[in-house]
Amino acid sequence: MRPKNQTYPESRKGRGAPTNAVSQRFNLHDREMDGDWLDEKDIIGDSAAKLRTTVTTEFPKSIINYNISPDLPFDRSINAYRGCEHGCIYCYARPTHAYHDLSPGLDFESKLFAKPNAADLLRQTFAKPKYQPASIALGTNTDPYQPIEKRYRITRQILEVLLETLHPVAITTKSNRVVEDIDLLAQLAARQLTAVAISVTTLDPQTARLLEPRAPAPARRLEAVMKLSEAGIYVHVNIAPVVPGITDHEIEAIVAAAADHGARSISFIPMRLPHEVAPLFEQWLEAYYPERRSKVMSIIRQMRGGKRNDPGFHSRMRGQGPWADLIRTRIGVASRKAGLNKSKISLRTDLFRRPVISGSQLELF
């Protein structure tokens, strides 16, 4: 059992970030134009005691975010929520909260925003004559199945529109709550319109509680992999991130577990620490693994060209140097042994049918 955190006494049980005290950059004009920034700019551009989660509803004018990043397998995404209650200390999306004058630390995981008009906006977008279908990614910035989805059901409403219009969608989550929508996902999957990626960072529940305090336990995620697979849904497992010195010893076990539970493919992302995530993660290490801090940060720097983060396209997702190569080799060997990565899925776009909006001229036909 980990010793009680003495370094950051203000840290909250069940939260990821030890504090809110990290430097913030609100001058957008000075922001380095790196890969992370280009992914985020459209997403954020428009719009001691127990720490309670608060949710603010917002009503954006558009819901699809577009990107031109050459290392992402999609050009559009939807984020039903801002902030994420899972509280994963490594979350690369934490810096987006700074643009709301909120901290990427505890605020990111406790002061959340929901978009209840997301499904209506999506239907309106699909109805436009110039809209051309391509796979939409759900879960690229914050988890579409974080705890508040149980109350708001925005992700489910989005899936209902996608099924109505036969539009392809790829989902990334670390929550077993995704199985609550298995009825919709199975219908999409039967038409080759969906795939689900589930993130499994560690198999150890104690490590998971420290890394991802409000995310479902690893065993529950693997159960979700099995249920989705049994329902005929293509399931991918992503080891994201691989945290050197903390979780990297589990690589082979995670790959084997993914295969045993019905995953069809697997991938990984080495630890990456953009902007405020770096000091937050170092605070976290000091709080829970002080004896490993130097080693962990040394390996991260070796994988990131001597820095805490490498924001360059392609390299940000792969890492560089001997450590990154070793992780890649280990996962490759384990995947071949487990029979993974022999299949890929290509989602269909030819089935798309434009919705009819009430009051439009198309409604006359």
Six-digit token pair at 24? 């913030």
Average pLDDT over residues 306-327: 94
Average predicted confidence (pLDDT) for the chain: 89
Q: Label residue 42 exposed, middle or buried (CB < 10 Å: 0-12, 13-18, 19+).
A: middle
pLDDT bracket for residue 86 (50, 70, 90): very high
Average pLDDT over residues 219-231: 98
CA 276/CA 208 separation, integer angstroms: 21
CA 15/CA 64 separation, integer angstroms: 30
Using alpha carbons, select from 276, 147, 143, 286 the residue that is nearest to residue 201.
143
Tens of pLDDT, residue by residue over 8-23, are 655 666 777 776 655 5
Instruction: Give the chain's length.
Output: 365
Half-sphere exposure of 137 (CA within 13 A, CB side): 19
Radius of gyration over every alpha carbon of the chain, rounded to an integer in angstroms: 20
Average pLDDT over residues 152-176: 98
CA 52/CA 364 separation, integer angstroms: 50
Tens of pLDDT, residue by residue over 248-287, are 999 999 999 999 999 999 999 999 999 999 999 999 999 9
Residue 3 has pLDDT above 60, yes or no: no
Tens of pLDDT, residue by residue over 25-82, are 544 444 444 444 444 444 444 444 578 899 999 999 999 999 988 888 899 999 999 9
CB atoms closer than 10 angstroms to residue 6: 8
Q: Check residues 235 and 16 and name the one with the higher pLDDT.
A: 235
Q: Are 57 and 83 in contact (CB under 8 A)?
A: no
Average pLDDT over residues 110-119: 97
* CB-based contacts of 208, cutoff 8 Å, min separation 6: 201, 202, 215, 217, 218
DSSP H helical ranges for the chain: 35-45, 106-110, 118-127, 149-152, 154-165, 182-190, 205-211, 218-230, 251-260, 277-288, 293-303, 315-318, 321-338
Give how far Cα 35 sits from Cα of 26, 244, 359, Å: 18, 23, 41
Residue 349 has pLDDT above 50, yes or no: yes
Residue 362 has pLDDT above 70, yes or no: no
Q: Residue 31's pLDDT is what?
A: 47
Using alpha carbons, select from 214, 168, 177 the residue that is nearest to residue 198.
177
Q: Report domain extents, the chain.
A: 32-340
- Sign of the alpha-carbon dihedral angle for 274, 219, 223, 148: negative
- Which CATH architecture does the domain made up of 32-340 adopt? Alpha-Beta Barrel (3.20)
Q: Residue 157's pLDDT is what?
A: 98
- Among 33-37, 124-128, 138-142, 312-316, the minimum mean pLDDT is found in 33-37
**Portion of the chain with pLDDT greater than 70, in percent:** 86
* CB-based contacts of 173, cutoff 8 Å, min separation 6: 139, 143, 144, 145, 196, 197, 198, 199
